[in-house]
Amino acid sequence: MVHTVPARTARLLIGKTDFQEIHNRLMAEVLAVLENLSSYDPRAFTEANEAYLVKLFPEQSPPEKPNGNGDELVEELEPDVE
């Protein structure tokens, strides 16, 4: 995702010389990426990824581990509240 910031903004900034305009465009793109990442759910991603792989390779058996690469899913830790 982060690589989309340069890809999406480079052509929009060609020839621009106004610092504030360049800054505002870059900030808008970074904030858009962060907003998108804020809704990331690792479990939903894993489920969607596994479903995609089954469609892509139906002849292969499903992976033994839930995330498809042999690692266990890491449970999210609760923040320490004092």
| pLDDT tens readout for residues 58-71 | 877 655 555 555 55
Per the CB < 8 A criterion, the answer to whether 29 and 5 are in contact is yes
Which residues have a Cβ under 8 Å from the Cβ of 47 and sit 6 or more positions away?
Answer: none
Mark out the alpha helices in 39-76 (DSSP H runs): 42-56
Quote the pLDDT of residue 61: 61
Helix or strand holding residue 38 (H, E): helix 19-38
When pLDDT is cut at 50, 70 and 90, the band that residue 78 belongs to is low
In whole angstroms, what is the distance from residue 40 CA to residue 74 CA?
15
In whole angstroms, what is the distance from residue 30 CA to residue 24 CA?
10
Which DSSP symbol is given to 81? -
